[in-house]
């Protein structure tokens, strides 16, 4: 089954932990557990490739990491 891909915004919505951490497929509403692949784009940005096991829909998310120095 062919997969479609698009880049989605990752502006955080504050839901209880673990609920907001799992992406939901916008096609079939299935929740996803693990990214298929990841890549470091710059010093503080990580990109994740997600593919729905149920329908094959794919998308990419980008997350910024914060470094805390004490």
Q: Which domain holds residue 58?
A: 1-11+29-65
pLDDT at 70: 59
Cα–Cα distance for residue pair 59/70, rounded to 1 Å: 36
pLDDT at 6: 62
Cα–Cα distance for residue pair 69/44, rounded to 1 Å: 14
- To 5 degrees, how large is the angle CA 69–CA 40–CA 63? 70
| Domain membership flag for residue 54 | yes
| Domain membership flag for residue 39 | yes
Cα–Cα distance for residue pair 57/43, rounded to 1 Å: 29
| Domain membership flag for residue 5 | yes
Structural domain count of the chain: 1
User: What's the mean pLDDT in 42-64?
Assistant: 89
| Domain membership flag for residue 52 | yes
- The whole-model pTM stands at 0.61
| Domain membership flag for residue 24 | no
Q: Is 44 exposed, middle or buried (0-12, 13-18, 19+ CB in 10 A)?
A: exposed
pLDDT digits (tens, 9 = 90+) for 19-39: 556 788 889 989 888 899 999
């Amino acid at each position: 089954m062919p997969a479609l891909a698009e880049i989605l915004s990752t502006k955080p919505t504050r839901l209880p932990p673990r609920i907001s951490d799992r992406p939901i497929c916008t096609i079939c509403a299935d929740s996803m557990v693990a990214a298929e692949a990841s890549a470091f784009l710059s010093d503080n940005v990580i990109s994740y490739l997600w593919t729905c096991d149920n329908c094959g829909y794919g998308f990419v998310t980008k997350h910024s990491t914060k470094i805390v120095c004490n």
